[in-house]
Amino acid sequence: MKVYDDCINSAGAILFNGANVICYSTGNDAIDSNYGRSGAISVAGGTVIAFSQRGGAEMGIDCDNMSYVSLTGGTLIAGGGSQGGSSTTLSGSTIPSRGTTSAISFTEGDYYSIASPDGNVLTWRMPCSVNSSYTIFATDCVAKGTSCTLYQNAIAPTAEGINFLQTAEDMPMIWRGNGDTTGTQKTTIAF
């Protein structure tokens, strides 16, 4: 889903519980909750990839305080600006997670993979170019204490025999548990 304003916005809590979602905003937050307390944005299952191209105060996920984000299952990758995002530890997460304030650039159309020592965790095709000043990585696919690697220019996996999502022709895609990890190393994620 591509929009100019917030892709997903609510005055209440936003819960992801098994969906596969890719959303990005060219001018605002990707996901924005104004709930104002714990559980404002919750990921309990599925895969959520959310980016804001705008930068500055506009984020992949925005709920005014990163401690309001609850991560109990699934996978979340979010990036954009840095408002409210300064901690590498996400206090509302019970799954392995890491916030990073190191700038990471993502290029539209390139494939990215996160790989653990046991193999590939996730591969996706980036829906937009983003210079992310605060990026969140969280997944229940690895154990806490695992060090993973983010690769750019990974080779797209095939759809056969793996968990595969293609939202529409020529749209971003997600693969879980399969993919190439011989691309260019972007960063290490210490879960």
- State whether residue 66 is helix, strand or coil: helix
Q: Give me the pLDDT at residue 91, please.
A: 87
> Tokens 């840095």 appear where?
82
Which residues form the domain of 37? 2-190
Domain count, the chain: 1
Q: Give me the pLDDT at residue 124, please.
A: 86
Helix (H) or strand (E) holding 106: strand 104-106
CA dist., res. 50 & res. 160, Å (int): 26
Q: pLDDT by residue for the chain (191 residues), tens digit each?
A: 777 899 999 999 999 998 888 899 999 999 999 999 999 999 999 999 999 999 888 999 999 888 899 999 999 999 998 766 667 788 899 999 999 888 999 999 898 989 888 877 888 888 889 999 999 999 998 999 999 999 998 777 665 444 555 555 555 567 776 555 668 999 999 99
CA dist., res. 101 & res. 110, Å (int): 22
Asked whether 189 and 147 are in contact (CB, 8 A), the reply is: yes
CA dist., res. 188 & res. 190, Å (int): 6
> Tokens 């990974």 appear where?
154
pTM: 0.90
For 93-107, the DSSP string reads BSS-EEEE-S-EEE-
For 10-33, the DSSP string reads ESS-EEEEEEEEEEEESSS-SEEE
Which stretches within the chain are classed as H helix?
A: none
Q: Give me the pLDDT at residue 160, please.
A: 47
Asked whether 97 and 148 are in contact (CB, 8 A), the reply is: no
Q: Give φ, ψ of 80 to 5 degrees.
A: 155, -130
Q: Give me the pLDDT at residue 84, please.
A: 61
